[in-house]
Amino acid sequence: MTATTATTPRAGQQRARILDAAQACFVRDGFHAASMASIAEAAGMSAGLIYRYFESKNAIILAIIERQLRDKLDNIAKLAEDPDIARKFVDFFGRLRRGDPDVVNPALLLEIGAQATRDPQIGAAMAHSDRAAAAALGEWLRQITRARGLALDDAGIRARGLALQCLFDGLAMRAVKDPDLDPALLAAALAAVLPQLLASDPASPHSRETAEP
């Protein structure tokens, strides 16, 4: 009880140390297969000590999940300040390949998604994060499309936001399936979808093709 609410600087540092170690273990082994002993070893402390700072292994998993979802939301928020999202994704792949620990880990994101279908608490956290992401993306889309002289109603914004979210999440899976993806190819792929999504008129002739099989 006091464990999770301790707020001394020391406690905060220890909690951070544990979370960093846990994240490394979770990335390497998965939530379930990572043992408290391995986390303790990675954190350079005894297993028992972890319980002074976290109630249970599950609490650590949840903290990691919340941190990852928060980081992901931050990334989306930062898109608003920099409209060149294609370059953002290319950069993301580069940092991931270099093993940058601060990057949101795609394997973890996938596992979180899988767990969200089983653990209601995780599911709620993910749903909440997702709604926030959708709102942020929608607001950004409204601004950028208006700036480009495109008038979209709410439904149009939601549809394009959804498409963008699918694209983003799909890139996480891509990072897992092919971490050495050629940056130029990725850039080309993004160039093939993003422009229309951000600017073209959905009422143009092309857009009706799928509706006329």
Partner DNA sequence: TATGAATGAGCGTTCATTCAT
Partner DNA sequence: CATGAATGAACGCTCATTCAT
Quick one: angle between helices 85-97 and 57-79, nearest 10?
140
Cβ at position 159, least distance to a copy of itself in Å: 4
Candidate residues 12, 28, 30, 46; the one interacting with DNA per rule CB under 7 A: 46
Q: Count Cβ neighbours within 10 Å for each residue of 192-203 and write b for 16 or more, e otherwise.
A: eebeebbeeebe
Q: What are phi and psi of 32, to 5 degrees?
A: -75, -45
Distances (CA, A) of 130 to 42, 54, 135, 168: 31, 26, 9, 12
Q: Are 175 and 105 in contact (CB under 8 A)?
A: no
Whichever of 20 and 71 has its CB closer to DNA, that residue is 20
114 binds, among DNA, a copy of itself, none (CB under 5 to 8 A by kind): a copy of itself
Which of 29, 74 has the CB closer to DNA?
A: 29
Is the separation of the CB atoms in 103 and 96 below 8 Å? yes
What phi, psi does 50 have (nearest 5°)? -55, -35
Candidates 4, 12, 28, 37; binder of DNA (CB under 7 A) is 37
Give the interface with a copy of itself as residue ranges (CB under 8 A). Answer: 27-30, 32-33, 82-87, 106-108, 110-111, 113-118, 126-127, 130, 155-156, 158-160, 162-163, 165-174, 176-178, 181, 185-186, 188-200, 202, 206-211, 213
Comparison of 26 and 93: residue with beta carbon closer to DNA: 26
Q: Please choose which of DNA, a copy of itself, none residue 142 contacts, taking the beta carbon within 5 to 8 angstroms, the exact cut-off set by kind.
A: none
Say which amino acid occupies 136. Answer: A
Say which entry of DNA, a copy of itself, none residue 14 contacts (CB below 5 to 8 A, set by partner kind): DNA
Q: Which residues bind DNA (CB under 7 A)?
A: 6, 8, 10-11, 14, 33-38, 45-49, 51-52, 56-58
